[in-house]
Structure 1
Amino acid sequence: MMSSPIRIAVAVLTYVVLFPTAQAQTAERPNVLLILADDLGYSDLGCYGSEIETPNLDRLAEGGLRFTQFYNTARCWPTRAALLTGYYAQTVRRDIVPGVRSGGRGVRQDWATLLPVHLKPLGYRSYHSGKWHIDGMPIENGFDRSYLLKDQGRFFNPQVHWQDDERLPPVEKDSGYYATEAIGQHAIECLEEHHRQHADKPFFHYLAFTAPHFPLHALPQDIEKYKSIYRQGWEKVRQQRWAKIKQMGLLEGELSAVERDLGPPYAFPDHLEILGSGEVNRPVPWDALTAEQQKFQADKMAIHAAMIDRMDQVIGKVLRQLEAMGQSDNTLVMFLSDNGSSAEIMVRADGHDPQAPPGSAASYLCLGPGWSTTGNTPFRRHKTWTHEGGISTPLIASWPRGIQHSGAIRRQVGHVIDVLPTIVELAGGTLDVPEAESVRPALPGKSLVAVLQKDAPLQRDWLWWFHDGHKAIRVGKWKAVAAKDGPWELYDLAADRAESNDLAESNPDRLRRLVQLWDEQLAAHAAAAQEQ
C-alpha cells in the first residue's frame, strides 16, 4: 500500500475536490495535535472521573470541551484506520469482512488515503510520533517526519522501531529509554523543527502513545505515587469514579452490574501459571481474594495509573512546546483512546520474571478484567466487545481561538470516522467525491466543526460496529448489540447507557429493523472492500 511517493502524488491529483479555499489561504486555519492513547478506559482521566493525576489533560478539558458519547471501533488497528482514513475499517479492509482478505493484516485500497495526503495540498505539514498499526509506513503515506514504535511489548528496550521509515537499531537494556518519554520527545523535536524551518505553514501532528497498553511497564517514581491507593479494591474505586462522573454532570442513570463470569477475551491458561497465584482472570468480589491476590492486583493498577500519569506529564511537555512557539491559541488539540480498557491477560515479548519488581522491564503484567471493569466505569464489558465498555472513549477538544465555551460538555453522538472530515474542513478543504470516482465511496463520517464551535446538533443515520464476531448498530438513542455467538440485545441508551435493561423481547419489531440495517451495512462494507 502506498509503496512510493509517486503513488501518493497520483492520489492527491485525482482527489480533485481537495484544493485550498479562500478560508484555507488565511492564517486562521488551526494547527492540529491529535493525541491517541492505547487501551485507556472511559473513566481513566481525572476529568472523566478518575483518581489518577492528569492535570494537563484536565486543563485542556477545562479550557475546551468533553464529549460524553464518542465512539471508537473496540480495537487498536481498526480505530487507527478509521481515524486516519475517515472510513469504517471494514470498508478499507482493516477489520474483518467475511469473504474478503481483511483484518489486522489487510491492505487498504489505493483510494483509501490517509489524512496527511488530504492536508498536503492545503499547505499542511504532517508529523507522526508513536504507534502506527496501519498497513504501509508513515512517510510513504504522506507524513513528513515519523518515529514509529512497533515493539509494543517492551517499554524500556524496544527492538523494532523506525525513524522516517528507516529501521533503527534495538534499544539496549538499562539505557534510560522509556517509550512514553521517547514518543513525546520526538513530537517536541518535530515541533521545534517546524518552528525553525516551516513557521509559515500549519501543521498536523499525530501523537500516538503506546500507554497504557500492556505490558504494565512504568517508571518507579510514578508507581510509588499510587502504591497504596488501590488496596481498597476495585469495587470501591469504581463506585468513587461513578460518583465523580455524576457530580461532574457527564452521565446520569445507573452503574452497570459487574459481570463476574466474564473474563479475558482470549484464554491463555499456560500464561496464568507463569504469572502465579496472585493473578485472577475474573472480576470476582475483592473480599473474595486472598491477601496475596489483593496485593498483586493493587500493584497492577498502580502501574496502570503510573503509565497514564506519565503520559499526561509528557503531554504537558508537548503543550509547553506549543506555548514556546506561540501556537497554543491556534492549535486544535484532540485527545481520545483507541478502545476501552482491556481485560486481556497474557505473557509475550521477553516473558515474565515473577521475582522482578512489578512494572519493570523483566515483568510482563496485564490489567485484567477486575480493573478493566473499573477503567470502563460505568459501562459493560471491555476492549474487543461492542458493548459500551469496549467502544466508548473520552474525547477532549481544546482550541482557544476556535472554541469559546470553555469547560462545556458535548452530548452529540460521534465516532472516530468524524475526525478526518472535521480536520479537513478546518483546514479549508472539502471532501465531496467526484462522480467520475465511482469506486471511492462517500465518507460516512460527519464534520464536528459546528459541534465544536456552536454546540450544533449532529444529524446522522446510524453508527455501525463489527469486531471479533461482536456486532452493534446505533440509530438515535437505540442500540442493538450482540456478543460473538450470542443473541441480539436492545437498549435505549438515552435512559440506559449502562446497557442494563434489555428491551429485545418487548420491542421485537424495532430490534428486527436494526438487525436488518446491520446486515445491509455489512453487505455494503463487503462490496466496498472488494473494490481496488
Structure 2
Amino acid sequence: MKRNPGGFVLFVAAVLLAETTARADPPRPNVLLIMADDLGFSDLGCYGGEIATPNLDSIAADGLRFSQFYNTARCWPSRSALLTGYYPQQIRRDVLPSVPGGGQGVRPDWAVLLPELLEPVGYRSYHTGKWHIDGMPIAEGFDRSYYLRDQGRFFNPTRSWKDDVKLPPVEKGADYYATTALADHAVEVLREHERGHADEPFFHYLAFTAPHFPLHALPEDIAVYEDTYAPGWDVIRAQRWRRMQQMGLLDATAVRQPSRVERDLGPPYHFPAALDALGEGEVNRPVPWQSLSDRQKTFQATKMAIHAAMIHRMDLEIGRVFDQIKEMGQWENTLVLFLSDNGASAEIMVRDDGHDPSADPGSAETYLCLGPGWSTTCNTPFRRHKTWTHEGGTSTPLLAAWPRGIKARGEIRRSPGHIIDIAATLLELTGAETAAEAPPAPGKSLVPAFSTTAASSEDAAAEPRTIWWFHDGHKAVRIGDWKAVAPVGEPWELYHLAADRQEAHDLAVPRADKLEELVTEWSRYVDEFTELASRDLPADVRRKARGAAKDSIEMKDKQAAGKPQR
C-alpha cells in the first residue's frame, strides 16, 4: 500500500481543527424551559418584587434578564406559541374571524411541537405540569409526561395523566401539593435520564400551575408573608417601582413612572355570584387602599400573602430541580429559560369545589383570586392585566442562563422579543429543523442576545420588528417603538413606547398617519393568518374566512377615506 504523507497531514489538520472548534463552541445544550402561570411582571425578586425567589434570582445573576419580552396575554395561546414558534392564530389555537380556534382549536398537521423536531437530533423530551394544548404530551412527541389538567385544586386534583394514562383522583386530605408534585416528577425523570440516557441531551418543559387561581398555598409558606402586605397595594407598588429603578431594569427614558391606576377597570369577566360567595372582604376594583374597610384590608392582604407563598414555593421547588441537574454534572451545559404565560390576572370567580368562607384562606376548601387591586401591583409598572393587550397583560419576565454558552453575567437585554422566539432559539442551538411542509415561522432567535456584551446584542437586534396580538377581541401591534392597541369595543390608541411604555399619552389624533400605518399592518396580519389557518379546512369554512378577509379590507378602506377611528 502506498503511503500518502500529504493526506496524513491533511487528516491531522482536520482533527486539530475539529478539536479547536469543539473547544470554541459549546456542545448542544440540555434545555430546562420553565413556565409560570399568571405571574406578574414584577413578582420575582430580580424584577423588583418583595417575594423571596433566590433560585430564580440566581439565574438572573448568572445570566440574562429581558425587560421587553412579550407573551400572548392568555394561557393556552402562549403555550402553543411557546412549543411551535407560531402565533396561535396561525395554527388555530386562538380565534380569528370565522376560523375555528381558541382553547379547543386543533393545529394543522405541520404545526408540530418542539419534541418532535428535537428527536431527530438526539434529544429526549420530558413534560411536567400544565398542558393546555390540543393532543396529549406523549402522542405529541414527549418521552415522559405528568399532565396536571386540574388547575382548580392544588391539594386534591381530580384530573391528571402520567405518560398519557389517566391517574385516579388525589384524595382530599392527602399529603399532596401540586407545585411540589411537579418538582417531584421533574426530578424523577431527570434521574431516569441520568441512569439510562446520560449520553443524550434533554429538553424538559416544566409548566407550573402556580400562581394561577385558586390561591392555594401551604400554611408554612403563607406564614412567611403574613404581615408583608398590610401596608396595601398602593405602597407595595411604589416599593416595587423604586427597586426596579435602583436595579436599572427598565430604560429610564421609556418608563419614567408607573402607569396610572385605572380605578374603574375591574375583572375582564363579571361573576356577581362569586362576589356574593366571597363576602364583604372582596373588592373588584383597584380603589385606593385607604378607602377600604378594615375587614377588606385584612382580606385583601391575606390574598396577596397567599399569592406570594405560591411563588415562594415554586422557587423552592425549582431549586430542587436545579440541584438534580447539578448532581448529574449537567449544569454547565444546561440552558435554563423561565417566563410566564401572561400578566397577573384581575379575574374574580369561584369554580370547582367552591368557597367556604369559614375555612382557612389558602386551604383546599377556599377559592380566592388575586383581583385587580393586587394584579395592578403585580404588573408594575405596566397597564392592565391578563387578557388585555396593553403592556400589563402581555409583558413577561424572561430569564436565561447557560454557564457554558452565555458568558454574560447579570446583564439586562432591552430589545423586544416574543414567546414565538423561544422555538427559533432552541432550533438554532440544537441544530434541529422545522417540518419540511411548514411555512416560515415568525419567531426570531435570541442567540444574538446571548453575546458577551449588551451593546453587541442590542446592535444585533437593531432592526425594528413587528409583534402582533389579538385575543378576546383585544388588538395590538408593535412596529419598532410604536404600538397601536384597541381594547374590545373601543377605538385604537397609539403609544410611542421609547418614551411612554406605561401607555399614558395616546397619540392617535396627533399622529393619525402613524396609527393608520400600524392598523393597516395589523389587518394585513389578520388576512395572512386567516388564509394560512383555513388552508386545510373544508370549503364552507374557507368561504367564511374569505368573508372575514373582505371585512378587513373594508375596514382599511374606511381608514383610507379618513373616517374617524376614535
| TM-score for both structures, normalised by structure 2 | 0.88
Note the C-alpha offset of 1:322: 0.6
Kept after mapping to 2: 8 A contact 1:36/1:208: yes
Offset from partner CA, 1:130-153 (integer Å, 9 cap, x none): 000000000000000000000000
- Counterpart Cα distance in 2 of 1:391 and 1:51: 22
* C-alpha distance in 2 between matches for 1:170 and 1:346: 23
Gaps of 5+ in 1: 1-21
After TM superposition, the structure 1 = structure 2 runs for residues 41-120 of structure 1, keeping only pairs within 5 Å, are: 41-120=40-119
Q: 2:432 maps to what in 1?
A: 429
Q: Secondary structure at the match of 1:139?
A: coil
Question: Deviation of residue 461 (structure 1)?
Answer: 3.1
Do the aligned residues in 2 keep the contact of 1:489 with 1:502 (CA within 8 Å)?
yes
1:36 is paired with a residue whose SS is: strand
The aligned counterpart of 2:236 is: 237
Count of residue pairs brought into register by the alignment: 504
* Residue identity opposite 1:103 in structure 2: G
User: Does 2:141 correspond to 1:137?
Assistant: no
Contact 1:90 1:97 in 2 (8 A): yes
Which residues in structure 2 correspond to 1:115-514 (within 5 Å)?
115-251=114-250, 252=252, 253-431=256-434, 437=437, 440-454=438-452, 455=454, 456=457, 457-458=460-461, 459=463, 461-514=465-518
Q: Is 1:222–1:309's contact at 8 Å kept on the other side of the alignment? A: yes
CA distance in 1, matches of 2:408, 2:529: 37
> Which amino acid is 1:452 matched to?
F
Q: Deviations 1:299-334 (Å, cap 9, x if unpaired)?
A: 000000000000000000000001100011100000
Distance between the aligned counterparts of 1:222 and 1:453, measured in 2? 38
Give the Å deviation of 1:46: 0.2
Identical residues among aligned pairs (%): 64
CA radius of gyration, larger in: 2
Moved more, 97-106 or 330-339: 97-106
Shift of 1:27: 7.3
Aligned partners of 1:521 and 1:60: how far apart in 2? 36
For the residues of structure 2 that align with 1:285 and 1:349, how far apart are their CA atoms? 31
Aligned alpha-carbon RMSD (Å): 1.1
How far apart, CA to CA, are the structure 1 residues paired with 2:429 and 2:534?
32
8 Å CA contact 2:120, 2:432 repeated in 1 = no
Quote how far apart the aligned CAs of 1:430 are.
3.8
Contact 1:109 1:531 in 2 (8 A): no
CA distance in 2, matches of 1:430, 1:521: 25
What is the rounded CA distance, in whole Å, between the counterparts of 1:505 and 1:248 in structure 2? 36
**Residues in 2 aligned to 1:367 and 1:85: alpha-carbon distance in whole angstroms:** 30
The 4+ residue runs of structure 1 with deviation greater than 3 A are none
Distance 2:218 2:182 in 1: 15
Counterpart amino acid of residue 152 in structure 2: G
CA contact (8 A) 1:51 1:241 kept: yes
The CA deviation at 1:255 is 1.0
Separation of aligned partners in 2, 1:159 and 1:101: 29
* Counterpart Cα distance in 2 of 1:258 and 1:69: 21
Larger helix percent: 2
Q: Is the 8 A contact 1:254 1:496 kept in 2?
A: no
Alignment deviations for residues 39-81 of structure 1 (CA, whole Å, 9 cap, x no partner): 0000000000000000000011000000000000000000000
Aligned AA (2:521): L
Amino acid at match of 1:423: L
Amino acid paired to 1:162: W
Q: Is 2:527 the partner of 1:526?
A: no
Q: CA deviation at 1:254?
A: 1.6
Secondary structure of 1:412's aligned partner: coil
